[in-house]
């Protein structure tokens, strides 16, 4: 019961934040359209069914033709994941290293004072 209540609280907060974000976004979009910063929603013209099918066939053919190899995919995935991990590592090092140095120097000065 306790867990269900907590889950509901989290989902409620999630819903509230999501609702606020969507409201803010639609408000900003309406404002931008009325001011003339962006165009309104585009009216899509219907494409004849036969052409649509042909386009779909073309794209599926292209997809199967230009399918990259598994090795290439893995290499790219490792590189881009490495990039993300690197960004996080830089942040971690830039915070943890100065903090631990400051802690060490504080400890050293405390030991010196205590020694005297």
Partner 1 sequence: MSSEVEKGVVSQTKSKLWVDILIFVVFLITMEPGLSRLTIHEWLSLSMIVGMLVHLLINWDWIIEITRRFLGRLGGQTRINYILNWLLFIDGTLLMVSGLMISEVAMPALGLDFQIGDGWSKLHDLSANTVLILLGLHTALHWNWIVSTVMRYIVNPVLRLIFRNKQIGGVA
Contact status: 102 vs partner 1 (CB under 8 A): no
Angle at 87 between CA 81 and CA 90, to 5 degrees: 135
How many binding residues for partner 1 (CB under 8 A)?
31
Angle at 50 between CA 47 and CA 56, to 5 degrees: 80
Q: How far apart are the C-alpha atoms of 102 and 97, rounded to whole Å?
A: 9
Q: How far apart are the C-alpha atoms of 112 and 52, rounded to whole Å?
A: 80
Which C-beta is closer to partner 1: that of 45 or that of 116?
A: 45
Q: Which of 27, 92, 102, 108 binds partner 1 (CB under 8 A)?
A: 92
Site string for partner 1, 43-82 (x = CB under 8 A): ------------------------------x--xx--xx-
Contact status: 95 vs partner 1 (CB under 8 A): yes
């Amino acid at each position: 019961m306790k867990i269900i209540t907590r889950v509901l609280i989290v989902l409620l907060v999630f819903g509230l934040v999501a609702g606020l974000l969507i409201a803010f976004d639609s408000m900003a979009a309406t404002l931008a359209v009325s001011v003339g910063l962006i165009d309104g929603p585009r009216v899509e013209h219907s494409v004849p069914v036969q052409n649509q099918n042909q386009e779909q066939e073309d794209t599926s053919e292209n997809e199967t033709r230009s399918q990259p190899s598994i090795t290439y995919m893995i290499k790219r995935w490792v590189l881009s994941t490495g990039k993300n991990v690197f960004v996080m590592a830089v942040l971690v090092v830039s915070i943890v290293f100065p903090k631990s140095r400051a802690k060490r120097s504080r400890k050293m000065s405390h030991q010196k004072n205590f020694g005297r």
